[in-house]
Amino acid sequence: MREIVFDTETTGLDPKTGDRMVEIGCIEMVNRVATGESFHAYFNPQRDMPAGAEAVHGLSSAFLADKPLFADVAADLLAFIGDAPLVAHNAGFDFGFLNAELEIAALAPVCTSRMVDTVAIARKKHPGAKLSLDALCTRYGVDRSHRVKHGALLDAELLAQVYVELTGGRQIGLELAAEQAAETDARRDGAKETILARATGKRREPRPHAASEAELARHQAFIETIEKAVWVS
């Protein structure tokens, strides 16, 4: 099953009061395994960047000034996400901003039936525990040491790993077994090729191995020296 794990960065908390999305990062997963395919873009929000928001993600108005408008890359984004379920942490927030930007671009919203909220999953699995992305990374041993500030693509990559753990975890032992089986098969295939090469090579004529007349005479002389031989009745 194909799924898209995504995260957004914004100018604030509420698109209804004029806040805009300034970054989106998407990670493609198939059967809970990241494929290496991703989508990432910054957007010019056409407004100022509040100091509080900039402190969170580090994206300044100056940095975003030459970035495209959301409408300019919306088609590429929609083509990437396709009709796959969309996984996000506190997904209602990200869906709200994504659909607000689609509305501004005069495009149809993404149906919330496609929404998969990892906060809701974590709340059921770990009631009463901290549910932030940082807390879940710590719980599941996901390395976030390179996360100095929030970033949409980086957070999506971290969330993809957390999502796997929340939904059952990687069966590392089985993965190692599969790798070892593949190595064994490769060695076996190599041995088969060697045997086949030997079997189909140029046939050698058998070497002579019969005793000569002189050897037979010496053997007979030796036999006659044996007293009370068991083969003599």
Handedness of CA 79, 40, 8, 35 (dihedral sign): positive
The residue among 6, 35, 1 whose CA lies nearest residue 116 is 6
Distance CA(47)–CA(186), nearest Å, equals 59
> What does the angle CA 158 – CA 97 – CA 144 come to, to the nearest 5 degrees?
15
SS3 137: helix
Three-class SS of residue 21?
A: strand
Is residue 193 marked as binding? no
**Could you give the CA distance from residue 11 to residue 47 in angstroms, rounded to a whole number?**
9
Q: Which of 126, 150, 209, 219 is catalytic?
A: 150
CA pair distance 68, 72, nearest whole angstrom: 6
Residue 155 annotated as lining a ligand binding site: yes
Secondary-structure breakdown of the chain: helix, strand, coil percentages, each rounded to the nearest 5: 50, 15, 35
9 among annotated binding-site residues: yes
Q: Is 40 a catalytic residue?
A: no
The binding site for substrate comprises 7, 9, 57, 155
Residues annotated catalytic, as ranges:
150
Q: Which residues define the annotated binding site?
A: 7, 9, 57, 155
Q: Per the annotation, where are the binding residues for a divalent metal cation?
A: 7, 9, 155
